[in-house]
C-alpha cells in the first residue's frame, strides 16, 4: 500500500536523495532548474509517496512560472525509486498532482508518449530556456492562446529572465 502526503520540511533530504538516485549527476545544471532558483515550490502540490514501512517510493514537485503574461505550473522533478518503477506510481503521482492543481496550466519537459497518457500535449509557441528541445515541452490544461518564454517567478510575484 502506498501512502501519499504533502511533502514536509522533514522529507527534504530524503526526497533530494531520491532525485539524486534517479537522475544523472548534474541534474541541477538543467535549464529547468534555473526556473526554480530561489523560488519555493507550490507546497500543497509537492507530494511524497511512501510504502507501508514508511520508505520513500516516489516524489513530485510543482513550481510557479510565467509564460508570457500568464501564470503556469512547472511539473518536476518527479521520481520513483528504482525498486518501485513499473508499478504505475509515477502516473499516480502525476494524476494526483494534476487533480490538486485543478484547472491550472501545467507544463513539463519530457517524453510525449509517456506523459501523453496523462493528457499532456506538445506546446507550440511556449519556449523553455535553452538548450531545451522544443519537442519535449508539453502542457496540460487551458493553453489556448498562451505563448511566450517561460520565466521564473520572483518572490515579489514578477517574472524574471532565467
Domains along the sequence of the chain with CATH: 2-160 (3.40.630.30)
User: pLDDT over 70 for what percent of the chain?
Assistant: 91
Region of 38 (left: φ > 0; alpha: ψ -120 to 50; beta: rest) is left
Cis before residue 84, ω within 30 degrees of 0? no
- For residue range 84-104, what is the model confidence (pLDDT) as tens digits? 999 999 999 999 999 999 999
Predicted local confidence at residue 37, as pLDDT: 83
Predicted local confidence at residue 32, as pLDDT: 72
Predicted local confidence at residue 131, as pLDDT: 87
User: CA 78, 84, 90, 96: dihedral to nearest 10 degrees?
Assistant: -100
Predicted local confidence at residue 29, as pLDDT: 58
User: Which residue has 505550473 as its cell numbers?
Assistant: 73
With 0.85 as the threshold, say if the pTM is over it: yes
- 76: cell is 518536476
Give 39-44's long-range contacts (Cβ < 8 A, gap of 24+): 39/63, 39/64, 39/152, 39/153, 39/154, 39/155, 42/73, 43/6, 43/7, 44/6, 44/100
Say if residues 78 and 62 touch (Cβ distance below 8 Å): no
Predicted local confidence at residue 159, as pLDDT: 43
User: Which residue has 519556449 as its cell numbers?
Assistant: 127
- For residue range 24-74, what is the model confidence (pLDDT) as tens digits? 776 665 667 678 888 999 999 999 999 998 999 999 999 999 999 999 999
Amino acid at each position: 500500500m502506498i501512502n501519499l502526503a504533502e511533502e514536509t520540511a522533514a522529507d527534504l533530504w530524503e526526497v533530494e536523495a531520491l532525485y539524486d538516485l534517479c537522475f544523472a549527476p548534474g541534474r541541477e545544471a538543467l535549464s529547468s532548474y534555473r526556473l526554480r532558483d530561489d523560488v519555493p515550490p507550490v507546497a500543497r502540490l509537492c507530494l511524497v509517496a511512501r510504502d507501508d514501512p514508511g520508505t520513500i517510493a516516489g516524489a513530485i514537485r510543482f513550481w510557479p512560472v510565467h509564460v508570457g503574461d500568464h501564470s503556469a505550473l512547472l511539473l518536476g522533478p518527479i521520481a520513483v525509486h528504482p525498486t518501485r518503477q513499473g508499478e504505475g506510481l509515477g502516473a499516480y503521482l502525476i494524476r494526483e498532482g494534476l487533480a490538486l492543481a485543478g484547472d491550472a496550466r501545467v507544463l513539463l519537459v519530457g517524453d510525449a508518449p509517456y506523459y501523453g497518457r496523462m493528457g499532456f500535449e506538445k506546446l507550440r509557441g511556449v519556449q523553455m530556456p535553452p538548450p531545451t528541445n522544443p519537442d519535449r515541452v508539453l502542457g496540460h490544461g487551458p493553453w489556448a492562446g498562451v505563448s511566450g518564454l517561460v520565466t521564473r517567478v520572483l518572490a515579489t510575484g514578477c517574472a524574471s529572465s532565467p
